[in-house]
Amino acid sequence: MKLTSYWLDTSQPFDRGSPKPLEGHYDVTVVGGGLTGSSAALALAKKGARVALLEAQTIGSAASGRNGGMCNNGFAQNYGVMAGKYGKDAANAMYKAFDAGIDMVERLVQEERIDCSFARVGKLKLAAKPEHYDMLARSQELLAANVDPEKRMIARADLRSEVGTDRYHGGLLFPKSANMQVGRFVRGLAIAAARRGAAIHEHAPVTALRKVADGHEVETSKGRIVARQVLLASGISQVGPLGWIRRRIVPVGAFLIVTEPLSPSKIERLMPTRRNVVDTRNLVVYWRLTPDNRMLFGGRARFAVSNPESDEKSGQILKAAMVDVYPELADTRIDYCWGGMVDMTRDRLPRAGERGGIYYSMGYSGHGTHMSTLMGSIMAEVMNGRPDLNPWKDFDWPAIPGYFGRPWFLPILGAYYRMKDLVG
């Protein structure tokens, strides 16, 4: 079993890094080489900007290459709650932004000819308890009446046509959702950006940011540059002068396992429609098939940071959860097990804007695969004088009380959610 991301292990490493020294002047410096940063660098380079992308490790090595590779439309939150809190028009606009993210991924895959097995497979949200099915049905009625008439309910009696398990009580189908080989996608975006002239520097963590007369001085371990504009696409990075962001983003561990390849007959029994699947538990689990017919199974197995020991413990929990759903996978070999850190905001909605002359976009809270890609492209427009295109422009972003970057409260939250799953 490899304790590394399946996506990164089965995609070609990025090899288009700039051979030039890190010095001089640029129009824009992008900090972070994940999906936000790579899509932003591509969009900016297409506009003719002189762009430097600085990545502390390697392209896609953090959350962008360590997720489930799902482009799931719809809120993490209940639509009715969102409409009640923000108003129907605002809720609809936010909902459509997540749809637009999937469209953006599909468009970039086609335009840049990125070989990442993108497919519109749909998402099935499964009711872990009978009352959860009723909750999903009410949500479907509201969505159909206001913003998304394509969703439909799948009754428990019909569930076997979708997934080969009796563990759940029906579900809600989101036909627009998609999946892909996300390692190839993020690296493909960076290759496309480099092809259009962006200077991409890996292993170049930003250590200081200073305001200067002609923009911002950006200091790294490899050198120093000056840029007229800076975009922080750094997520939960613990590197560099990002204290203001760290008080507002909570790094939450997400863990995944990938099995050996499954036989065609087993796939036909367990995953006949090959959809993305997620359930309604607070400690959510999700699964899908990979392009080479392995079962990927992930979730919030433990409220802990990702490291080899933690990942292996989480992998054991996920194997047990997978067998609970699919008993016939009990003897299936696990080939990959890894973790990553999700950048959660307090309300689980992204944040993007400008502060002190520095632009930022992050906080995707588990929906980053497509929303980060969309926001990278949007932030290129925002920095070019179109702040009205930012769907999160009117959201304030207060610091989390008592929090300074170390999520001391995560074990308490984990225990609370486990209790809710048991009793509520």
CA–CA gap between residue 238 and residue 208 (Å, rounded):
13
Predicted pLDDT of residue 411? 65
Distance, C-alpha 68 to centroid of its chain: 8
For the chain, give every domain's residue range: 6-389
Predicted pLDDT of residue 412? 63
Q: Where are the beta strands (DSSP E) in 221-333?
A: 223-232, 250-261, 276-279, 285-289, 294-299
H-only helix segments in 79-181: 79-86, 88-112, 130-146
Predicted pLDDT of residue 415? 66
Predicted pLDDT of residue 403? 85
Mean pLDDT computed over every residue of the chain: 93
Burial class (CB in 10 A: 0-12, 13-18, 19+), 324: exposed
CA–CA gap between residue 157 and residue 151 (Å, rounded):
18
Predicted pLDDT of residue 47? 97
pLDDT digits (tens, 9 = 90+) for 356-402: 899 999 999 888 899 999 999 999 999 999 999 999 999 999 999 98
Q: What is the mean pLDDT of each run of 10 residues along the chain (424 residues)?
A: 96 92 96 98 98 97 95 86 92 94 98 98 97 94 94 96 96 97 98 98 95 95 96 86 89 92 98 96 92 94 72 91 97 95 90 95 92 98 97 94 77 64 67
H-only helix segments in 117-252: 130-146, 182-195, 243-246
Predicted pLDDT of residue 424? 59
Predicted pLDDT of residue 217? 97
CATH of domain 6-389: 3.50.50.60
Total-model pTM: 0.94
